[in-house]
Chain A
């Protein structure tokens, strides 16, 4: 293990990441654990079930149904379950953050990369990067402008850092021209980035 302190040698000899993944999978399988089936199941969930369309349906319902919107803002977790959506056991609370013309909410996780991933989808790469995590809490308006959201000076920015197991999602404002649309059509215009809060619709 002496070589671990010698960076040049570590860099030369470190196993490629693909092989490190294969090694742990094989080692767990060799112990009789049902890894292959679980991985297949979880891969399917990550790519097919934990998708932004879930959150888009929630937003569309909130726009179309005032009573649902009230329930969603009061208790996000129980409201999303009404739509047949689920959250992991450790996500015990979902706080839904309502935007208005003068308020823009934006979520982040400075310590790691937590999100309500079963609802708004697994986070994009930039959300997990050092740049977003370090800067969005301190330079929110600048960062949003760099990302294409140039807010008027009188719009208040509210940043929510996911430092506990409470999860957050942004409820974007409904564009005026979509009033009266059916829910499925409304859901089509809701993006993951709007539910993170780095874009407006």
Chain B
């Protein structure tokens, strides 16, 4: 889904709020929230793709104002309710107030019908896929052409794994893009790499430039 979580290349944000030796945690509840979600994943209540997608499904207004650990907590609460582990009413009673959850999930999808194998040096194009469910393709690479620089072992296909759809595991490819191709006349010069699932890619038609 093209949600607000897909932040790469969005404009209008200010300076990074950077501090040397910045901490991961700032309050005890953050440590606890992090541990509870990890416990739920380890216990098999849900997988990482379901977890990530429940964060993406948060109301955009809530997503943008929540801290990282509040987003994590909201995903945990949403999935526990959706999977029938704990009713919302019980949680709200225990919490003494309303608990905002993420919006319902749309449908997922299986692997691409025709998947191609790639090797380092291959020029590849990111397919023009627009899906309502989970996807790990940042919008800024959609339709763009780059070069494969690395191959990773097969992983569960997120578009299926987040939705309980059966699918084959797929390799992912580290694909190198030029920032000038991603944002013509609109970026600092750099090589930008993304880890891209096989189903999102096809061989680029044009030959590599000499």
Contacts and interface: CB of A to CB of B under 8 A. Distances in A.
Interface of A: 3-4, 7, 10, 13-28, 31, 33, 35, 38-39, 42-43, 46-47, 90, 92-93, 95, 110-113, 121-126, 128-143, 146-148, 156-166, 193, 198
B34 A95 contact: no
B9 A134 contact: yes
Contact of A159 (B16, B19, B94, B192): B192
B35 A38 contact: yes
Contact of A25 (B6, B36, B189): B36
B155 A92 contact: yes
A11 to B, nearest CB: 10
B8 A138 contact: yes
Contacts, number: 244
A38 B193 CA distance: 36
A142 to B, nearest CB: 6
Contact of A14 (B22, B23, B98, B179): B98
B7 to A, nearest CB: 4
B83 interface: no
Contacts of B106: none
B100 interface: yes
B14 A131 contact: yes
Contacts of B6: 110-111
A129 B9 contact: no
A140 B26 CA distance: 27
A138 B12 CA distance: 12
Given A146-B16, A163-B196, A157 B172 contact: no
A42 B190 contact: no
B205 interface: no
B36 A39 contact: yes
Given A43-B31, A131-B17, A165-B155, A158 B95 contact: no
Nearest to A26: B94
Contacts of A95: 150, 152, 174
B55 A112 contact: yes
Nearest to B94: A23
B35 A133 contact: no
Contacts of A159: 190-193
B167 interface: no
B137 interface: yes
Nearest to A133: B7
A14 B97 contact: yes
Contact of A140 (B20, B80, B85, B188): B188
A130 B91 contact: no
9 contacts: A10-B100, A19-B94, A24-B91, A28-B39, A46-B25, A46-B35, A125-B26, A146-B18, A164-B196
Interface in B43-77: 43, 48, 52, 55, 61, 64, 68, 70, 73, 76-77
Interface in B92-116: 92, 94-100
Given A128-B68, A146-B16, A134 B24 contact: no
Contacts of A131: 13-17
B206 to A, nearest CB: 23
Question: Most chain-A Cβ atoms within 10 A of its Cβ — which of B6, B24, B25?
Answer: B24
A130 to B, nearest CB: 6
Nearest to B195: A164
Given A90-B155, A110-B8, A128-B68, 18 more contacts: A19-B95, A19-B97, A23-B94, A27-B90, A47-B25, A111-B52, A122-B34, A125-B22, A134-B9, A134-B11, A135-B13, A138-B8, A138-B140, A141-B189, A141-B190, A146-B15, A156-B191, A161-B193
B204 interface: no
B138 interface: yes
